[in-house]
Amino acid sequence: MSDNIIQFEIKDKKAYLEINRPKALNALNKNVLAEIKKCCDILKNNSSVHILIVSGSGDKSFVAGADIKELQELHNKNREGENFSKWGAEIFNSLEQLPQITIARIQGFALGGGLELALACDFIIASENARFSLPEVTLGLIPGFSGTQRLRKRLGTARAIEWIATAERYSASEAYTFGLINHVVKHEDLVFFTEQIADKIIKNSPLAVKTAKLVIRSGENCNFQEACDIESHQFGHLLNQAESVEGISAFIEKRPAQF
Ligand code: CAA
């Protein structure tokens, strides 16, 4: 990836995307966003990768938001600000829609666009030193990469309005209590713990895991009954696939399944 602003690696069914601008606390400039899109394009048709782990380099920051110096260049440029926001939101949609299970592994600051990036992942695992905030209103702005909507979906309307309007910064344990993140672990255990969760997922039927994500996410865009119909359809589809033949046979024969 250009200038190593992103480090992208595929290893043992896992992909690792690390944002690598530690001097700018891994702020998302246009080049970083473009590289994230390229990684999504690589992954979307790669069935040999089951997990994507998204992180930021260094201990101090996951991602401290969109690059504020680039935002300044968008002042009074007619629709360029809106187009920038739409472009970033589309990239985060591509990330959210990946077939892989995506995990944001967070240490340090996850602010603004950085928290929006994490919210576009399937779930968040954080170190005790992680700090979360959507501080855009302190800049005279609002979240622009779909953070208003993803935070509302994750925390509910009341908390999302309070978070965004106060720009308060929350600790990892507070974020855990609110349901923003799935796990808080000791800083030194973050990488190992995340690998363990990834390995548990990889052990299961890849097709079933991918389908589970697809069906769960389908519920975000249709009503309950439609989503349950999608679930039934996919359940039936899986019963006609080799992986369920193997999984069910393995249970009956009292042996580990080989997926
Ligand atoms: N954009 C560009 N550069 C940033 C940045 C950002 N979001 N965040 C930090 N940096 C840069 C700083 O400018 C500084 O660079 P220099 O050394 O060249 O001056 C370097 O990273 C280190 O930052 P600080 O010296 O500020 O470090 P600190 O420890 O004193 O403070 C911080 C850390 C609290 C995270 C502080 O840097 C900060 O508040 N950053 C901005 C956070 C923010 O407002 N994010 C929202 C951005 S807007 C957005 O994301 C819009 C959207 O939704 C699309």
Q: What are the pLDDT digits (tens) for 168-188?
A: 999 999 999 999 999 999 999
Q: What are the pLDDT digits (tens) for 126-170?
A: 999 999 999 999 999 999 999 999 999 999 999 999 999 999 999
Is the predicted pLDDT of residue 1 greater than 60, yes or no?
no
Q: How many domains does the chain have?
A: 2
Given 18, 35, 116, 243, which residue is catalytic?
A: 116
Written as one letter, the residue type at 248 is I
Q: Is the dihedral of CA 117, 123, 47, 218 positive or negative?
A: negative
Considering 187, 202, 217, which residue would you say is the last residue of a domain?
A: 202
Q: What are the pLDDT digits (tens) for 17-66?
A: 999 999 999 999 999 999 999 999 999 999 999 999 999 999 999 999 99
Query: Which residue's alpha carbon is at the smallest distance from atom 29 of ligand 1?
Result: 60
Is the predicted pLDDT of residue 3 greater than 80, yes or no?
no
Query: Which residue's alpha carbon is at the smallest distance from atom 28 of ligand 1?
Result: 25
d(CA 135, CA 138): 6
Query: Which residue's alpha carbon is at the smallest distance from atom 12 of ligand 1?
Result: 24
Q: Mean pLDDT, the chain, as a whole number?
A: 97
Asked whether residue 257 is assigned to any structural domain, the reply reads: no
Burial class (CB in 10 A: 0-12, 13-18, 19+), 69: exposed
Ligand 1: atom nearest CA of 66 is 50
> Domain with 227 in it: what CATH number?
1.10.12
Asked whether residue 120 is assigned to any structural domain, the reply reads: yes
Ligand 1 centre to CA of 176 (Å) is 24
32 shares its domain with 107 = yes
Burial 31-58 (b: 16+ CB within 10 A, else e): bbbebbbebbeebeeeeebbbbbbbbbb
> Domain with 113 in it: what CATH number?
3.90.226.10
221 shares its domain with 149 = no
Ligand 1 centre to CA of 97 (Å) is 28
Domain, as residue range, for 35? 2-202
128 shares its domain with 231 = no
* Strand-by-strand arrangement of the 51-56 sheet: 6-11, 14-19, 51-56, 101-106, 123-127, 183-185
Burial class (CB in 10 A: 0-12, 13-18, 19+), 172: buried
Asked whether residue 258 is assigned to any structural domain, the reply reads: no
Do residues 136 and 145 lie in contact, with contact meaning Cβ atoms separated by under 8 Å?
A: no
Percent of the chain with pLDDT over 90: 97
Ligand 1 centre to CA of 66 (Å) is 9
Q: What are the pLDDT digits (tens) for 211-220?
A: 999 999 999 9
Is the predicted pLDDT of residue 2 greater than 60, yes or no?
no
240 shares its domain with 133 = no
163 shares its domain with 101 = yes
Query: Which residue's alpha carbon is at the smallest distance from atom 19 of ligand 1?
Result: 24
Asked whether residue 117 is assigned to any structural domain, the reply reads: yes
Q: Average pLDDT in the 225-238 region?
A: 98
Do residues 36 and 26 lie in contact, with contact meaning Cβ atoms separated by under 8 Å?
A: no
- How confident is the model at residue 235, as a pLDDT? 98
137 shares its domain with 13 = yes
Asked whether residue 10 is assigned to any structural domain, the reply reads: yes
Is the predicted pLDDT of residue 245 greater than 90, yes or no?
yes
Ligand 1 centre to CA of 75 (Å) is 18
Is the predicted pLDDT of residue 115 greater than 80, yes or no?
yes
Given 18, 82, 90, 136, which residue is catalytic?
A: 136
- Model pTM? 0.97
214 shares its domain with 240 = yes
Q: Average pLDDT in the 87-107 region?
A: 98
d(CA 247, CA 218): 25
20, 29, 63, 68: which to mutate for ligand 1, most atoms within 8 A of CB?
68
- How confident is the model at residue 78, as a pLDDT? 85
- Whether 116 is catalytic: yes
